[in-house]
Amino acid sequence: MKRHLISAGDLSRDDALLILDTAEELAQVSQRSIKKLPTLRGRTVVNLFFEDSTRTRISFEAAAKRLSADVINFSAKGSSVSKGESLKDTALTLQAMGADAVVIRHSASGAPHRLAEWVDGSIVNAGDGTHEHPTQALLDAFSMRRRLGPLDGRRVTIVGDVLHSRVARSNVLLLATLGAQVTLVAPPTLLPVSVGSWPCEISYDLDGVLPKSDVVMMLRVQRERMNAAFFPSAREYSRRYGLDRDRLGRMPDHAVVMHPGPMNRGMEIAAEVADSPRSTIVEQVTNGVTIRMAVLYLLLGGAELEGGAQ
């Protein structure tokens, strides 16, 4: 594996499977009453969050702590960053403190690439602008695999604001690597103009795609997008691209519903769909911790997993 996890495209098929298999082993640990492993004892993981995202931060924090790493949470709010300190100065500070891994969330696409130029530790992209969110894609793949088995040939439909979605970009890349067939469904305004060059199919017709889907992943759609004329109204969006009970009924019986959260209930997904047994939404949160443990473990070359629980 490479030293950093910045893009899902950085992962070979073997890398991706290794992460998923390692997560599977670590999932066993999570079921024990004592969930902590000593493998990253003495290593420092910095959570560098320039954007509010409590759920992603605590997921990484829990993952690092379960591996016994020292965790430093560095939130841009209330720090020198909000007083105009540059990303580079923040990076140099972290470098001086000797961070072994930096988990970065930033509103600017490409911020993790820049950070990787300035610090020696491993960089884990926890979401950069509208670019990528590779650990989300890994936990999604992990969740799918647990429900459906190997992903080769599985048909995954991703619905919603692909243009602004880092989750969609990472998922398209990772799922293609893992041999799944991805179809993106969105109003044409919410697809990049160049989406035809991506390793996936495109459709504007959700109802046509649902019966052929093993997985339907709904993306969050911000209501404010309608102000920039991406779609006329929340109601029309919901009618054409929302997953409601009727549409759930058109999916094969084995097919699952996913959402990276946070959800707009009633907008892209109906409450009864989100809460149905077909939904993996709560599992995705649990699996998020597990997959992030696997990523940190593999990037930081932790001691043998067989060390057992403390």
Partner 1 sequence: MTAYLVKGASIVGGEPADLLIRDGLIVETGAGLTAPAGAETLDAEGLVALPGLVDLHTHLREPGREDAETVETGTRAAALGGFTAVHAMANTSPVADTAGVVEQVWRLGQEAGHCDVRPVGAVTVGLAGERLAELGAMADSAARVRVFSDDGKCVSDAVLMRRALEYVKAFDGVIAQHAQEPRLTEDAQMNEGAVSGRLGLTGWPAVAEEAIIARDCLLAAHVGSRLHVCHVSTAGSVEIIRWAKSKGWDVTAEVTPHHLLLTDDLVEASPAGAYNPIYKVNPPLRTREDVEALRAALADGTIDCVATDHAPHPVEDKEAEWGAAAMGMIGLETALPVVQLAMVETGLLDWAGVAQRMSIAPAHIGRVAGHGMPIEVGATANLTLLDPSARTGVDPGAFASKSRNTPYTGLTLPGKVVATFLRGRPTVLEGKLA
What does 133-186 look like in DSSP terms, one character per residue? Answer: -HHHHHHHHHHHHHHHS--TT-EEEEES--TT-HHHHHHHHHHHHTT-EEEEE-
Question: Would the annotation count 105 as a binding residue?
Answer: yes
CA–CA gap between residue 135 and residue 170 (Å, rounded) = 8
| Shortest separation between residue 174's beta carbon and partner 1, angstroms | 14
Binding residue for partner 1 (CB under 8 A) from 62, 87, 144, 256? Answer: 87
Placement of tokens 């619905």 in the chain: 159
- Interface with partner 1, residue 219, by CB under 8 A: no
Binding residue for partner 1 (CB under 8 A) from 75, 93, 109, 286? Answer: 109
| Shortest separation between residue 200's beta carbon and partner 1, angstroms | 12
- Interface with partner 1, residue 197, by CB under 8 A: yes
Question: Would the annotation count 166 as a binding residue?
Answer: yes
Amino acid, single-letter form, for residue 161: D
Q: Pairing between strand 155-159 and 122-128?
A: unpaired
Q: Is 55 a catalytic residue?
A: yes
- Interface with partner 1, residue 116, by CB under 8 A: yes
Scanning 194-262, the segments in alpha helix (DSSP H) are 206-209, 234-241, 245-250
Amino acid, single-letter form, for residue 65: K
Catalytic site residue from 2, 13, 55, 245: 55
**CA neighbor of 115 nearest in space, from 107, 124, 26:** 124
Residues touching partner 1, count (CB under 8 A): 26
- Interface with partner 1, residue 132, by CB under 8 A: yes
Binding residue for partner 1 (CB under 8 A) from 96, 117, 152, 277? Answer: 117
CB 92 within 8 A of CB 118: yes
- Interface with partner 1, residue 108, by CB under 8 A: yes
Q: Is 36 a catalytic residue?
A: no
Binding residue for partner 1 (CB under 8 A) from 12, 80, 82, 86? Answer: 86
What strands lie across the sheet with 256-258, from one edge to the other?
201-203, 181-185, 155-159, 215-218, 256-258
Choice between 18 and 195, CB closer to partner 1: 195
Q: Is 105 a catalytic residue?
A: yes
Question: Would the annotation count 56 as a binding residue?
Answer: yes
For the chain, what is the radius of gyration of the CA atoms? 19
- Interface with partner 1, residue 225, by CB under 8 A: no
Q: Is 133 a catalytic residue?
A: yes
| Shortest separation between residue 41's beta carbon and partner 1, angstroms | 33
Catalytic site residue from 4, 43, 57, 105: 105
Return left, alpha or beta for 248; rule: phi > 0 is left, psi -120 to 50 is alpha, else beta.
Answer: alpha
Binding residue for partner 1 (CB under 8 A) from 51, 61, 128, 268? Answer: 128
Q: In the range 153-172, which residues lie near partner 1 by CB under 8 A? A: 166, 169
Binding residue for partner 1 (CB under 8 A) from 58, 148, 176, 195? Answer: 195
Question: Would the annotation count 55 as a binding residue?
Answer: yes
**CA neighbor of 268 nearest in space, from 309, 226, 217, 227:** 217
CB 45 within 8 A of CB 101: yes
Binding residue for partner 1 (CB under 8 A) from 60, 142, 198, 241? Answer: 198
Which residue numbers are catalytic? 55-56, 83, 105, 133
- Residues contributing to the site for partner 1 (CB under 8 A): 86-88, 106-111, 113-114, 116-117, 128-132, 166, 169, 192-195, 197-198
